[in-house]
Amino acid sequence: MTDYAEVPTAVRSMKSGAEDYIPKKLLTSQLPAMLQDLQKRQSFHEEPLFIRESEAYQKVFGRLHVLAKADICVMVRGENGTGKKHIAEKIHAQSDRADKPFVTVDCGLLSESLAASALFGHEKGAFTGAVGRKEGYWSEAEGGTLFLDEIGNLPLGVQQMLLCAIQDRRYRPVGGTKDRKANVRIITATNENLEEAISERRFRRDLYFRLSEYTVKVPPLRECPEDILPLAEFFRELYNQEHGRQVKGFDAEAKKRLLAHDWPGNVRELKQAVQSAVLFAQGELVTAEELNLDESGKPSDPDIALKGECMEKKRICQALEKAGHNRKEAARLLGISRSTLYEKMDLYGIQTKR
């Protein structure tokens, strides 16, 4: 609260950590609405906490505090939806860089022509359209952590620049004449088979070894079945609060369906399934029908298994068709890694059109 509704006062308040400020004379008329807005913003930006208790996940989680203090390059590997970014955030939060920026870059969104500029910045006139100087993600993450998600998609032409920046702890903006020092920790993530990418000359072997000083392998949800029901209950409570619902749980058949499902999209898929079920639940308990999940998760009957395989083969063919037979895009649509897609294609004898 302030008696002086001036811009410098507001700026100083924000820099000191305030979310907002209000002149005292407007308290009666504006404070209630402002508090409601702050509460909404807080609920959207703060990630709820959930501690997964499965042995496979705890084995991973228990090592993070050691990695956090080591200040080495860490590669987080796992399928889509397993929570690779969450792991990276935990490493940063427990490190000595926790009070510095955590900057996320989706390498899949970096075009071949602009990737270097996005990462390292550029000087005015460096290329057509560079009307002014621009800082890159590397500068933005100074002192903190740069999280390079889907690192396998980084354009080959920029990989050498990244390698040099990590090794020498310095980089040069596009069009620049002087190097800049860099104090940035690198954490990467991928759901791709990088060893295969190296053999196909899509990814540099020397960069791979530099980025993977330590590799964290996040287990898929199907390998942590004891986490499924607790996670489902956690998300149910979360979306009850967010959507103003009063759903009290899952009926017996719904629980069976949750445990039987293979979860190719992992925790992300589970979260979306529960949100939809909470929104459209007709009673106090979510039913199996309201979960809207395939029943072909873990069949024991051979006839059912065959139907499940036919359905999976059909889904893969549909995804390939939709992606124009681009296997990388098809894997993304299916929510599985490219290597898993290749294995499934070999299993079912599926060929792509060249």
Which tens digits make up the pLDDT trace of 228-237?
A: 999 999 999 9
Tell me the C-alpha distance between 169 and 133, whole Å.
22
Same domain, 96 and 213: yes
Domain count, the chain: 4
Structural domain boundaries enclosing 116 = 55-219
Q: Please, is 319 exposed, middle or buried when counting C-beta atoms within 10 Å of its C-beta (0-12, 13-18, 19+)?
A: buried
Asked whether residue 245 is assigned to any structural domain, the reply reads yes
Asked whether residue 47 is assigned to any structural domain, the reply reads no
184 has pLDDT over 80:
yes
CATH number at residue 250: 1.10.8.60
* Confidence at residue 48, expressed as pLDDT on a 0 to 100 scale: 54
* Confidence at residue 125, expressed as pLDDT on a 0 to 100 scale: 65
Same domain, 306 and 241: no
What percent of the chain has a predicted confidence (pLDDT) above 70?
Answer: 82
Please compute the mean of the pLDDT values over residues 73-79 and round it to a whole number: 96
Q: List, for residues 289-306, the tens digit of each pLDDT value.
A: 999 887 644 443 444 344
8 has pLDDT over 50:
yes
What is the overall mean pLDDT for the chain? 83
> Model's pTM, two decimal places?
0.67
User: Which of 219, 249, 282 marks a domain boundary?
Assistant: 219
Asked whether residue 336 is assigned to any structural domain, the reply reads yes
CATH number at residue 101: 3.40.50.300
Same domain, 243 and 334: no
Cα-only R_g, the chain? 24
Please compute the mean of the pLDDT values over residues 100-125 and round it to a whole number: 86
Asked whether residue 281 is assigned to any structural domain, the reply reads yes
Please compute the mean of the pLDDT values over residues 326-332 and round it to a whole number: 81
Helices marked H in the chain — which ranges?
A: 7-15, 27-45, 55-61, 64-70, 84-93, 115-120, 137-140, 156-168, 194-199, 205-211, 228-243, 252-260, 266-280, 288-291, 302-322, 327-334, 338-348
Q: What is the largest CA-CA distance in the chain?
A: 76
DSSP 316-329: HHHHHHHTTT-HHH
Asked whether residue 209 is assigned to any structural domain, the reply reads yes
What would the two tokens of residue 299 be? 């069949």
* Confidence at residue 1, expressed as pLDDT on a 0 to 100 scale: 77
